[in-house]
Amino acid sequence: MKATAIANANIALVKYWGKRNADLILPHNGSVSMTCDGLQTRTTVEFAPEYSQDVLVINDEEMRKDEKDIMGHMERIRKMAGLKEHAKMVSETNFPIAAGLASSASGLAALTLAATKASGLSLGERELTILTRMGSGSACRSIVEGFAEWRRGEKEDGSDSYAETIAPKSHWPDFRIIATILTEKKKAVGSRAGMAQTVKTCPYYKEWLSTVNEDIRSVKKGIQERDFTLVGETAEFNCLKMHATMMTTKPPIVYWIPETLDVIHWTRAMRESGTPCYFTIDGGPQVKVMCLEKDLKSLDKELNTLDSVLKTVVCRPGDGAVLTDRHIF
């Protein structure tokens, strides 16, 4: 009753921010992302009678706080499988967690796939994305490969809110995202708490929602036609709109640090000088720079000369979550 899964993080090109149903994690709006080869989590799950309670270890640190309700997610899986045994879960990432690099997306995707396999469940991809969504909304997009859409859905039971590939990784092989790591500190306000506060108090939240569907249509069109300018311009503006709702939340949520602004201005300057590139930022301070393979080497080299940047991780369209025999324990 042991299984190990690997999942990549995903970077949203059209953001998800806010739930209409917190229990089922149903979003107020749909979203589009790229599953990123380069930001990876590997998780081993074992159900066994000797475990008196669920144990979670991430990067050699046993988790004492359950901010993502991972234990509740494991109980959900246990109930589906008809199990009573508790589990040991050990997870490793190759990037900082809880720092705005979508660690919960790769983490919950890997955990869900490993736990379902270890418990004896056999789920199709759509079913697996729905189950993963109930652990962490954005994680459902990490189940599938390439460019993904998480459908908002309309049904109250969440059965039509799932993720699917809208273009495989082979469709646009020269699309790149350079993830800049500006700080390895955990962010002060978690995304789950932050978006709940935004939905509750932001006076501009309804306006944000009224623009998202058009952003989704534009980005999907850009992906299908491999129109880098359309994808980049739409993703960058969508990111700024989302952060505007955060900053106008009560109390304000400001994830940006001085280094964030440095990379924003650097990206704009590079673009104005003739090198096509655009930025996007999730719920945290880290900036992701979108570019094409032909400009990757020069942009990445230049980024690594900035005092603001600790290091970069280059991401290409990647695989969805997969099982592996390389157990951690």
16-66 tens-digit pLDDT: 999 999 999 999 999 999 999 988 999 999 999 999 999 999 999 998 888
Asked if the peptide bond before residue 251 counts as cis, ω within 30 degrees of 0, the response is yes
Which tokens is 324 given? 């592996």
154 and 120, same domain (yes or no) = yes
- Mean pLDDT for 317-321 is 98
What is the arithmetic mean of pLDDT over 185-210? Answer: 93
Final residue of a structural domain among 109, 141, 172: 172
Same structural domain for residues 193 and 146? no
DSSP-assigned beta bridge partners for residue 43: 5, 91
Which residue is it, tokens 């004896």? 120
> What total of structural domains would you count in the chain?
2
Q: What is the DSSP letter of 49?
A: T
Q: 172, 202, 226: which is the final residue of a domain?
A: 172
- If asked whether residues 196 and 131 sit together in one domain, one would say no
- The domain boundary residue, chosen from 172, 188, 203: 172
184-196 per-position pLDDT tens digit: 888 888 888 999 9
In a domain, residue 135? The reply is yes
* Matching residue, tokens 């309670």: 53
Query: Are residue 255 and residue 297 in the same domain, yes or no?
Result: yes
Q: How far is CA 278 from CA 121, 254, 285, 290, in A?
A: 41, 21, 16, 5
pLDDT the model gives residue 139 = 96
Residue 93 sits in a domain whose CATH number is 3.30.230.10
Angle among Cα 65, 71, 77 to the nearest 5 degrees reads 160
Answer whether residue 327 is part of any domain: no
In this prediction, residue 102 carries a pLDDT of 60
Q: Indicate if 119 and 11 belong to the same structural domain.
A: yes
pLDDT surpassing 70 at residue 220: yes
Residues 162 and 228 in one domain: no
For position 265, which CATH number holds? Answer: 3.30.70.890
pLDDT at 325: 97
Strands (E), 49-154: 55-58, 61-62, 86-93, 147-150
Q: Are residues 154 and 213 in the same domain?
A: no
Cα Rg of the chain, angstroms: 19
47's CB contacts (< 8 A; 6+ apart) are 1, 2, 78, 83, 85, 86, 87, 118, 119
Give the position of tokens 């720092």. Answer: 99
Is 231 found in the same domain as 208?
yes
- Note the pLDDT of residue 186: 83
- Give the pTM: 0.93
| Distance (Å) of CA 200 to CA 164, 194, 246, 287 | 29, 10, 11, 26
Q: Rounded to 5 degrees, what are φ and ψ at 231?
A: -65, -50
Task: Answer yes or no: do 91 and 76 share one domain.
Answer: yes
Indicate whether 179 and 166 sit together in one domain.
no
> In terms of domains, do 45 and 162 share one?
yes
Question: Comparing 85-99, 102-116, 135-149, which segment has the lowest mean pLDDT?
Answer: 85-99
| Residue 180 and residue 168 share a domain | no
Please, what is the average pLDDT of the chain?
A: 95
Q: 63: number of CA atoms within 13 Å, CB side?
A: 21
Q: Give the domain extent around 313.
A: 175-317
